[in-house]
Amino acid sequence: NAGVTQTPKFRVLKTGQSMTLLCAQDMNHEYMYWYRQDPGMGLRLIHYSVGEGTTAKGEVPDGYNVSRLKKQNFLLGLESAAPSQTSVYFCASSVFWYEQYFGPGTRLTVT
Amino acid sequence: GENVEQHPSTLSVQEGDSAVIKCTYSDSASNYFPWYKQELGKRPQLIIDIRSNVGEKKDQRIAVTLNKTAKHFSLHITETQPEDSAVYFCAAAGAGSYQLTFGKGTKLSVIP
């Protein structure tokens, strides 16, 4: 039982490049979330999903897209990376909207 | 939307002393208040949570109190140990919102 996993762990992008972050959970959770964490800013919600095939915007959705084609996976895409998207990205999942369990994080640097 | 303020941003205590971190929230409909601990370079981990129908909850050396009238809740750590050193985040959410709003965090340092 791996819990919540994220791929990749680290990534460096150049401005304008695109990439996809993968979050996977093996706990059969309905709810999944993507957060970004910046120094002194806490955790800010980017997008979330309340079930397979659903997505919704969080607090800071601009510049990101998401998809939940399978219940166990939640993908976060950056179509055209910008230096302001340099951050640590955390995925989380939960049975309901509370008791969220986090993945190990992806450290993304955009130069 | 919900706004969560957390204080202090840094806190240093001597080993064995108590530590208290306070949070206030803005949305009176919020009814779920978790606390997360994040060690350096690690993921946030849920350490305790409280629902709005409860005023206090304890788990060994950790306790959380909630004052719905004043819209604030607090984390209390007693008999602090060096391994308690981490960043602590509070959060709040209301039924139907599906979203947690986090405070900006408190860096706790326990001095041996």
Whether the predicted pLDDT of A32 surpasses 70: yes
Quick: pLDDT tens for A7-24.
999 999 999 999 999 999
Give percent of chain B above pLDDT 70.
98
Choose, out of A29, A97, A106, A107, the residue to mutate when testing the contact with B (most B CBs < 10 Å).
A97
Return the pLDDT at A40: 82
Tell me, what amino acid is at A87?
S
Residue from the list A43, A45, A48 with its beta carbon closest to the beta carbon of B89: A43
Average pLDDT over residues B1-14: 95
Return the pLDDT at B94: 76
Whether B46 and A99 lie within 8 Å, measured CB to CB: yes
Average pLDDT over residues A40-44: 89
Token readout for A49 is 């999903």
B73-76, long-range: CB within 8 Å, 24+ apart, which pairs?
B73/B22, B73/B23, B73/B25, B73/B33, B74/B20, B74/B21, B74/B22, B74/B23, B75/B20, B75/B21, B75/B35, B75/B48, B76/B18, B76/B19, B76/B20
CA pair distance A26, B108, nearest whole angstrom: 32
Whether A98 and B1 lie within 8 Å, measured CB to CB: no
Average pLDDT over residues B7-15: 97
Token readout for B13 is 């205590």
Residue from the list B34, B97, B102 with its beta carbon closest to the beta carbon of A42: B102
Give percent of chain B above pLDDT 90.
86
Quick: pLDDT tens for B59-112.
999 999 999 999 999 999 999 999 999 999 999 997 677 789 999 999 999 999
Return the pLDDT at A41: 84
Phi first, then psi, for residue A84 (nearest 5°) are: -65, -10
Whether B43 and A50 lie within 8 Å, measured CB to CB: no
Average pLDDT over residues A97-106: 91
